[in-house]
Structure 1
Amino acid sequence: MANFNLLGPVEIVVDGHVRTLGQHKLRQVLAVLALRANQIVDTDLLIQELWDERQPKNARTILHTYVYQLRKTFEQDGLCRHGEELVETRTAGYLLRAGDDDIDVFRFDRLVREGRRLLRDGDVAGAAALLRRGLDMWSGRAVADVVPGPVLHGHTVALDEQRVCALEMRIEADLELGRHRDVLPELRLLVETYPYNEGLHGQLISALGRCNRRNEALLAYQNLRHLLDEELGLAPSPQIQELQRELLSAGMLKKMAS
């Protein structure tokens, strides 16, 4: 049975051998079918993904040709067993038959859900390990070698959000495990990549504070406050403001003790 990788370039993997599809439209069709594996994907939805508002008159015929090419690809080089049909034709559209472990997106989702459960139950080390395993599956943005149409765009946005949530949980676990120095470089990069994500900013401020770099932590808070005020007319969340008060209180206590 073939495995499908979507957390990076679109790939078909059989017995450790990776196969990529040369045609962009083939990768598009495969990505949509794989993301909705074991569900009927409506023909009109696939046409919308491939051409949006610039649909050719013979769009259905062209789509059928792409599906036929996918099937031929699966058959050659042992990508599927002889006579096995991974892509089934249904009245309304097409269905990709795949197991729960055959698509990396579903394996990632399962690891994240299990990691969240372990974190909630207090198994911080176990949660960090599972979340790291899931995040290591990524090799760039989702379907990195596809210019997404309207359907895939929605999926990639959701996957990126899920990845960021997993990153926040894994960093939370690492902070609880005392790995605050280890996560600092990663957090600095993440707040540059996701400048409006207050959770990541809060983790950076917290990590700097735990490293006894109070001045840098307060500067990170001021940078966030300035960004939110200038760009959105907002103040930092109450949780982030509480972090600042804790840092200021720690500084005052240190002065009183000296």
Structure 2
Amino acid sequence: MAILVLGRPAVSSGEVLRHPARRMVRVLLGVLAVRANRALPLDELVAALWPERPPPSAAANVRNHLAELRRLLRAAGPDQPAIVTSRDGYLLAAAPDGVDVTLFQRLVREGRALRRHGAHPAAARSLARAVGLWRGQVMAGLPVPDLVRPDVTVLDEQRVVAIEDLAGVRLALGLHEELVPELAGLVVEHPLRERLWHHLLAALAASGRRAEAVAVYHRLVRVLDRELGVAPDAATRRLYESVRHSGDSAR
């Protein structure tokens, strides 16, 4: 993995992270990496860097920024991704694992395939590695150009779903107790992600913390009603009823 944009944009060289010194070069690196292996016309790169009033020298400035990125990639060592000029524009030509974005997506696909085949320990490793690639927001510290905003929105969603998938696999492995504090934080960070609440309810119930599980369910009911005007889905309601009835049978 050589190009990092799941966080502050950087070029990786072994254990060393090289951050472009100039802000516009960092934005350009982020745009090319998010759209890795896809050509971007020069005018779209100009609009990404100067969304309102491009200077007369904008095209020349983009070419200078690209030259600076090429030097940075060469300095990082051999077998790095390369910026390629084509008749359709410029693209970052990278191997599937050469950019953290594409590596993240591959690991998520791998983790889900392993989960479907019942290989939960291996699935957990792949998903944990995928989630661990995130060092912050996509292109952290920079404005996200409109050109790649849809891509960034998709990546943000993929990250949360991967976190949900990982929690589900770890529940299947019986790691209930250690999941509780993590999930408790996640439902605060993502209060409208019902799947995270479902996992928290399941983890508390499996840990014998029935009263807390019931309280979590009622918190979820209030959040969903206040924010969306809906009730928990059928699966979460069934889990809650199971927890509630298990308490009745224990008396």
- Using the size of structure 1 for normalisation, the TM-score is 0.90
Identify the residue that residue 206 of structure 1 maps to in structure 2.
202
Tell me the CA shift for residue 249 of structure 1: 1.1
Q: What letter corresponds to residue 131 of structure 1 in structure 2?
A: L
SS class of match (1:87): strand
Identify the residue that residue 23 of structure 2 maps to in structure 1.
24
Tell me the CA shift for residue 94 of structure 1: 0.8
> Does the 8 Å CA contact 1:40/1:92 hold for their aligned counterparts?
yes
Tell me the CA shift for residue 188 of structure 1: 0.7
* Cα distance per residue 1:119-165 (max 9 Å; x no partner): 11111111111111222222122221322121233222211211111
- Using the size of structure 2 for normalisation, the TM-score is 0.92
Pick the aligned partner of 1:79 from 76, 81, 84.
76
Matches within 5 A, 1:207-222: 207-222=203-218
Pick the aligned partner of 2:111 from 97, 107, 115.
115
> Does the 8 Å CA contact 1:4/1:102 hold for their aligned counterparts?
yes
Pick the aligned partner of 1:99 from 91, 95, 100.
95
Tell me the CA shift for residue 196 of structure 1: 0.3
SS class of match (2:148): helix
Identify the residue that residue 226 of structure 2 maps to in structure 1.
230
Q: What letter corresponds to residue 25 of structure 2 in structure 1?
A: L
CA 1:196/1:168 → structure 2, altered by over 3 Å: closer, same or farther? same
> Does the 8 Å CA contact 2:35/2:148 hold for their aligned counterparts?
no
C-alpha separation between the residues in 1 aligned to 2:171 and 2:84? 47
CA 1:55/1:117 → structure 2, altered by over 3 Å: closer, same or farther? same
Matches within 5 A, 1:48-197: 48-75=47-74, 78-80=75-77, 86-197=82-193
> Does the 8 Å CA contact 1:71/1:85 hold for their aligned counterparts?
no
Q: What letter corresponds to residue 107 of structure 2 in structure 1?
A: L
CA 1:106/1:85 → structure 2, altered by over 3 Å: closer, same or farther? closer
Runs of at least 5 residues in structure 2 that lack an aligned partner in the other structure: none
C-alpha separation between the residues in 2 aligned to 1:171 and 1:29? 34
C-alpha separation between the residues in 1 aligned to 2:9 and 2:100? 11
> Does the 8 Å CA contact 2:81/2:98 hold for their aligned counterparts?
no
> Does the 8 Å CA contact 1:50/1:149 hold for their aligned counterparts?
yes
Bigger Cα displacement from structure 2, 214-223 vs 145-154: 145-154
C-alpha separation between the residues in 1 aligned to 2:167 and 2:30? 30
C-alpha separation between the residues in 2 aligned to 1:242 and 1:231? 22
Tell me the CA shift for residue 209 of structure 1: 0.9
SS class of match (1:56): coil
Tell me the CA shift for residue 80 of structure 1: 4.9
C-alpha separation between the residues in 2 aligned to 1:80 and 1:42? 27
Tell me the CA shift for residue 29 of structure 1: 0.7
Q: What letter corresponds to residue 45 of structure 2 in structure 1?
A: L
C-alpha separation between the residues in 1 aligned to 2:129 and 2:138? 17
* Cα distance per residue 1:8-38 (max 9 Å; x no partner): 2111122433211111110111111122222
Tell me the CA shift for residue 97 of structure 1: 2.0
Percent identity over the alignment is: 34
1:3 to 2:2 alignment: yes
C-alpha separation between the residues in 1 aligned to 2:173 and 2:72? 47
